[in-house]
Structure 1
Amino acid sequence: MRLTRGTALVAAASLALVGIAGTATAAPSVPSAAEDAAGGRIDRAAVQKALDDVVALGAQGVQVRLTDGRQQLTARAGTAERGSSRPVPLNGRYRVGSITKTFVSVVVLQLVGEGKAELDQPISRHLPGLLPDGDRITVRMLLQHTSGLHDYTTDLFADLADFQTLRWRTWQPSELVALSTAKPLDFEPGSRWSYSNTNYVVLGELIAKLTGRPYGDAVERRVLKPLGLRDTSVPGTRVDIPGPHAHGYLRYAPDEFTDATRLNPSMAHAAGEMISTTADTDRFVAALLGGELLKPALLAEMLRTSELSPDYGLGVERVDVPCGQVAHGHSGGIPGYSSMMISSGDTRKRLELSVTTGPDLRGQPDEALRVLLTEVFC
């Protein structure tokens, strides 16, 4: 399975590295009459056990939404907060991390479709002077992580002990880009693939230049409002998560950890700042792959991989699920939260997941994730 290769905004918060946070209790959801009548094939008991296993390995809590044809199931495990018995909200909001990139890619491709940019055009055409090598880096390279730009987050979070200070700072996109360009390119543009959050910070600036407004305004106008995604937001510098949500935690020193729920998401910008729910990301991925957001030729470009980038299209990951099927989506992480959004090409089978992390690592939930994928896709 190619699920989390490079997709976490911060390695400590990646989907495969969830930490433990005290004793957690399972709180399965009850299927509605509509779900029962659908006669779907998803085994609720197997799903619940997988979620309980994720908690046992280190999550504070987890929520999941699974779709198989007409059947949709939601389930949860763990608790919403340390020291509380309150269950994880079944449709609570969470920081989606790098799933933000898929929203950003949609907007960029829409602008390409409108003739305002070209995929194989140097980024310097629109953002002169932002990148020292901007004449050699194209929009496509940024979307597909083949630009060679150094990932600024490897420096920003080189020492997690700095998190307590960094979490409140407001970062300008130009500052994040400068962290990257202070280092040489990791490789010649277009010669290799390497995941870099810097690429999408630059793409956020491209959207702002082409639309005359912050990139988040374009995401809201072009994606959120048309799809009715009322629980999804681009928070900018707002430190709180609005509405019901579970808390995530981060250990930043051997004997110290913190509730990482409140932070200034400008540290992630267009690479990973958005907040959503499993219901909204489910609607988004179904609309995207169902052709509601992009014309067929542009959607094909988005999903197309290459020998250079076999697992990543333009803001979308290719996911090889256990039974040999291929799905598409994105995973993401930001301190306190790890997430996943996956759909089959025909959108009949979908999975959205949010894990709230705890401060201590006990293992990787690979088997639990395999069970969830098998239940939906196999």
Structure 2
Amino acid sequence: MQMIFLKKTNIPQFLLLLLVLNSCGDDKKTNKNNVSVVEDTLPKMKPLGAEKKLPAQYINSVKPRINHFYNKNWPNNSMNGSFLVARNGQIIFERYNGYANKNEKTKITQDTPLHIASVSKILTATAVLKLVNAGKLKLDQKVNTILKTFPYEECTVRMLLTHRSGMRNYAYFTDRDKSVWDRHNQLTNKDILDILATKNVGLESRVGTRFGYCNTNYAMLALIIEKITGLTYQDAMSQMIFKPLGMTHTYAFDYDKHRKTIVPSYKGNNVEIGFDYLDNVYGDKNIFSTPRDLLKFDRARNSPDFLKPALLKEVYTGYSNEHKGQKNYGLGIRMINWETGQNFYFHNGWWHGNTSSYITLMKEHVTIIALSNKMTRRTYAVRKLAPVFGDYPFKFKDGEE
């Protein structure tokens, strides 16, 4: 091996060169396609900052009501998950109970990331909205101008966000027909796009004509995030949302990297639920998080720096008005709009044995989050807490379950 000796007079220059090269490398990240991306060009979430501190008297007045609800909804501490209620970003009440892993007897704590199922859609939508806000994408841009093989010509980014694409759920069109997909193989987002492009998968309804909640929409949005940023979905979400907000216990699931270490989920009878061929699809699901991290996310979405006012207004506009009713869907958020003018914004989730509920009472600056890794519908009942904080017509009475 040939040895290279540097003269003493050259050492400082050599070290300086190393420092320059290293500093240049710090500003870039190489993605899965070996494309160099300057991270500083990514639009990133910003924390909301300090909010008005709640008086102790106020906390003491509402905490017993929340505690009463908790004891009624999860009697005898039967919750297997995590639960948090906060106002102005200040935690009023939280509980963590049950097993993260029953075999290993590890308990769920405030730092245990649980699968948030379809609540992931809010985070995926947030990344898309930040790209729109930064001018890197347009809401009414046709999807096939970004994903070139996407077959439905009239479908736009906005239609994906609002579930108005007319597409069928990938879980259904890959389920039984082996000519479409062999369930012995893990399905990926790219596979879904390839199937749509080559297998003549029909639409459930004409593009843009009606609301149809469909996970395929958000699987495609994840591919759009990758295409626009040049990063994997996992890296893009980390760089744009998780790291800037200090969500240190949140990650987007990578099947190869995380499948042996994640918190598993369980049926109601405590039987563990294993993986299936759909567990490698992301965007519609597959984010793991904690209530405290989701609280940081929620408050950041209420920051003046989140989006430009005109775009923010579009987020909380209902787009599914073909049938009159209170329930609607905005840009990645569910809503209930009452005739009184009161609005309720939320998203629920379910995947395997995981159930989740995220509620943001925007006028009252209240965040309510419930996560469970054991199959139960009690997670969704947390909306009954809304009347504790405002004029929401959900039934909640002391002594009522």
**Alpha-carbon distance between aligned partners in 2 of 1:333 and 1:199, rounded to the nearest angstrom:** 17
Is the CA contact 2:149–2:194 (under 8 Å) kept in the aligned structure 1? no
1:233-312 matched pairs, under 5 angstroms: 233-237=251-255, 238-241=258-261, 248-250=265-267, 258-260=271-273, 266-306=279-319, 307-308=321-322, 311-312=328-329
**Alpha-carbon distance between aligned partners in 1 of 2:337 and 2:175, rounded to the nearest angstrom:** 30
**Alpha-carbon distance between aligned partners in 2 of 1:154 and 1:219, rounded to the nearest angstrom:** 27
Partner of 1:39: helix, strand, or coil? helix
Q: Which residue of 1 aligns with 2:122?
A: 102
Q: Which residue of 2 aligns with 1:187?
A: 205
Q: Which residue of 2 aligns with 1:123?
A: 143
Q: Which residue of 1 aligns with 2:357?
A: 340
Is the CA contact 2:364–2:390 (under 8 Å) kept in the aligned structure 1? no
Unpaired stretches in structure 1, ≥5 consecutive residues: 1-33, 159-164
Q: Check if 1:353 corresponds to 2:370.
A: yes
CA deviations over 1:135-194 (Å, ceiling 9, x no partner):
110110001000001011245578xxxxxx97x964321223456665310101110001
Return the letter of the residue paired with 2:254: G
Is the CA contact 1:98–1:332 (under 8 Å) kept in the aligned structure 2? yes
Normalised by the size of structure 1, how large is the TM-score?
Answer: 0.73
Is the CA contact 1:100–1:270 (under 8 Å) kept in the aligned structure 2? yes
Partner of 1:357: helix, strand, or coil? coil
Q: Which residue of 2 aligns with 1:72?
A: 92
Q: Which residue of 2 aligns with 1:137?
A: 155
2:217 pairs, out of 185, 199, 208, with 199
Is the CA contact 1:331–1:340 (under 8 Å) kept in the aligned structure 2? yes
Q: Check if 1:171 corresponds to 2:190.
A: no
Alpha-carbon RMSD: 3.7
**Alpha-carbon distance between aligned partners in 1 of 2:76 and 2:144, rounded to the nearest angstrom:** 46
* 1:191/1:368 CA distance change after superposition, 3 Å: closer
Is the CA contact 2:355–2:373 (under 8 Å) kept in the aligned structure 1? yes
Q: Which residue of 2 aligns with 1:18?
A: none
Return the letter of the residue paired with 1:351: I
2:234 pairs, out of 205, 216, 237, with 216
Return the letter of the residue paired with 1:327: F
Return the letter of the residue paired with 2:238: E
Q: Which residue of 2 aligns with 1:327?
A: 344
Q: Quote how far apart the aligned CAs of 1:370 are.
A: 4.5
**Alpha-carbon distance between aligned partners in 2 of 1:266 and 1:193, rounded to the nearest angstrom:** 25
**Alpha-carbon distance between aligned partners in 1 of 2:81 and 2:389, rounded to the nearest angstrom:** 17
Q: Which residue of 2 aligns with 1:25?
A: none
Q: Check if 1:316 corresponds to 2:333.
A: yes
Q: Which residue of 2 aligns with 1:3?
A: none
**Alpha-carbon distance between aligned partners in 1 of 2:237 and 2:218, rounded to the nearest angstrom:** 14
**Alpha-carbon distance between aligned partners in 2 of 1:333 and 1:53, rounded to the nearest angstrom:** 22
Q: Quote how far apart the aligned CAs of 1:348 are.
A: 1.6
* 1:84/1:203 CA distance change after superposition, 3 Å: closer
| Identity in percent | 23
Q: Quote how far apart the aligned CAs of 1:59 are.
A: 6.6
**Alpha-carbon distance between aligned partners in 2 of 1:42 and 1:170, rounded to the nearest angstrom:** 51
CA deviations over 1:89-147 (Å, ceiling 9, x no partner):
244311111122112212212222233222112111111213x21x1101100010000
**Alpha-carbon distance between aligned partners in 1 of 2:228 and 2:318, rounded to the nearest angstrom:** 26
Is the CA contact 2:132–2:138 (under 8 Å) kept in the aligned structure 1? yes
**Alpha-carbon distance between aligned partners in 1 of 2:374 and 2:337, rounded to the nearest angstrom:** 25
Is the CA contact 2:111–2:290 (under 8 Å) kept in the aligned structure 1? yes
**Alpha-carbon distance between aligned partners in 2 of 1:208 and 1:84, rounded to the nearest angstrom:** 36
Q: Quote how far apart the aligned CAs of 1:221 are.
A: 1.2
Q: Which residue of 2 aligns with 1:50?
A: 69
* 1:347/1:273 CA distance change after superposition, 3 Å: farther
Return the letter of the residue paired with 1:61: N
Normalised by the size of structure 2, how large is the TM-score?
Answer: 0.69
Return the letter of the residue paired with 1:47: I
Partner of 2:148: helix, strand, or coil? coil
**Alpha-carbon distance between aligned partners in 2 of 1:331 and 1:198, rounded to the nearest angstrom:** 17
Relative contact order (C-alpha < 8 Å, sep 6+): which is higher? 1
Aligned residues: 325
Unpaired stretches in structure 2, ≥5 consecutive residues: 1-52, 177-181, 392-401
* 1:120/1:83 CA distance change after superposition, 3 Å: closer
Q: Check if 1:40 corresponds to 2:56.
A: no
**Alpha-carbon distance between aligned partners in 1 of 2:64 and 2:336, rounded to the nearest angstrom:** 25
